[in-house]
Amino acid sequence: MTLQKMDVVEVFAAGEKGRGLRTTKEMKAGEVVFAEASFAAVVFDSLCMHVCHSCFRRQANPHRCAQCKFAHYCDRTCQRAAWEEHKQECAAIRQRGKAPSENVRLAARAVWRMQKHKGKIFDTQLTTLDLLEDHLSAMTPEDLKKLKVDVDNFQDYLRSNKRQYSADYVSHIFGVINCNAFTLSDQRGLQAVGVGLFPNLCLVNHDCWPNCTVILNHGSQTALDSALHSHRRIELRALEKIPEGTELTVSYVDFLNLSKDRQKLLKKQYYFDCKCEHCSKGIKDDLMMAVKETDGKKPSAERVKEITDYSVEALAKIEEARMEGDFHKVVKLCRECLEKQEPVLADTHLYLLQVFKVISEVLSYQHSFKEAAEYAGRMVEGYVKLYHPNNAQLGMATMRAGVTHWHAGLIEAAHGLVCKAYAILMVTHGPHHPITKDLEAMRTQTELELRMFKKNEHAYHSMREEALTNKHMTSRLVKSK
């Protein structure tokens, strides 16, 4: 067969997985394998008034499109840059009277681009949406019913379009979106704000222990001339050294689930049976369900079952309290849960790690930083034993733990954690990503504070207390005005 190529990658037949991408040269950890601008992308319905519909950055007071009154932008510069994508959408929203759901908006943007560019919009595009799998035949009756609602809404949305599309064709587009859409984050990479289609990325197959990761680069829209803007794009980055001819993989789901649970999730969402090495051999499942040994003895199977069953119920109650915003109750429930879990479950057990995560975040929110730091540190220790050493989620968790320790005045641990996070995110996000730049500034600051601490511990803590006192006084003055 003839292989399509793009710089350092090529399409190849990946057996029962269908098509895949592999390298044509050796890649180093942190190297960008390829970058790809979005074929189509939309902001989530829930954030449509708070996120720029062009660059996907969060904005406190975005500029609203005066015509459709739906799309929002950083400013007129971003609005002009987005006009080609928004023009037909703007007219359709005006005629319909309101914007449809994000799925319908994404499908419409994709169809309009294919209509204009005959399927391919970039020379480096290795496939078209028409050729991607839709997995409609594998969908459940319930999923097909939901899909039909989207199809009907799509055809209503595009009823004034010169070209009309068959229900089968529109169903295919929604099937592709369901299996291949990529979640887009805000400028700090901390919150999901939208969804997009990237045809080349769709060719990268899943592995629970992947050799690549994907991040969003928001591009630059600072120039007054929109012709000088750089596009919003994803970057496929190598997590490790990848030999020439190796298949490129990313993970579609979070690794912190048992193999059987990851397989169920992948089957439900992406309609395939994962046969990667970690799933086939159950690698790390033993750690994720590990129990604590005391003097060489393990708790009985009955006791373990009792605590795991209790943990499932407790975690549901904790999440309910968190969603209600009752954070004092969250902390109380977490402490009660930990009191029962810690004598029985090991520090890598998934249920224990989930409680560590929640209680550390809530205690930080309540400014109980020392206690939060203890739980955050233990959470990261567990994550290190489970995640790929260059996993982005490990890097983010380590960064948050470093910040918590910093706020707690534990400068030695804080600096160490910030440095570890920086090393991971240099690989996963690269040196120019905003969050990596934030970490670089933190690393410099914590290093300066650490030197001061080692030189005169008492002087360091006195300076820190004075700074915190001044900060609180300033905050109170601002609130009183």
User: How buried is 436 (Cβ within 10 angstroms: 0-12 exposed, 13-18 middle, 19+ buried)?
Assistant: buried
CA angle, 132 then 135 then 138, to 5°:
170
- Please, what sign has the CA dihedral across residues 452, 458, 464, 467? negative
Q: Residue 224 above 80 pLDDT?
A: no
Can you name the residues that pair with 9 across neighbouring β-strands? 6, 23
Q: pLDDT at position 216, please?
A: 84
Length of the chain: 481
Q: Residue 5 above 70 pLDDT?
A: no
Closest CA to 285 of 344, 240, 346: 346
Closest CA to 285 of 251, 266, 312, 258: 258
Can you name the residues that pair with 250 across neighbouring β-strands? 206
Report the distance separating Cα 124 and Cα 229, nearest Å. Answer: 19
Q: pLDDT at position 471, please?
A: 59
What is the spatial order of strands in the sheet that 192-197 belongs to?
40-43, 192-197, 182-185
Q: Residue 467 above 80 pLDDT?
A: no
Report the distance separating Cα 85 and Cα 211, nearest Å. Answer: 33
Report the distance separating Cα 279 and Cα 257, nearest Å. Answer: 10
pLDDT confidence band for 460 (50 / 70 / 90): confident
Residue with tokens 């919009």: 121
Q: What domains appear along the chain, each with residue ranges and CATH number?
A: 37-235 (1.10.220.160), 284-385 (1.25.40.10), 387-481 (1.25.40.10)
- End-to-end CA, the chain: 72
pLDDT tens column, 64-90: 999 999 999 988 888 988 898 899 999
pLDDT tens column, 22-33: 999 999 999 999
Report the distance separating Cα 450 and Cα 453, nearest Å. Answer: 5
Q: pLDDT at position 59, please?
A: 86
Can you name the residues that pair with 5 across neighbouring β-strands? 10
153: its two tokens? 């809404």
Q: Residue 3 above 60 pLDDT?
A: no
To the nearest whole percent, how much of the chain has pLDDT over 90? 73
String of DSSP letters for 103-150: HHHHHHHHHHHHHHHTT--STT----GGGS---GGG--HHHHHHHHHH
Residue with tokens 């030999």: 243
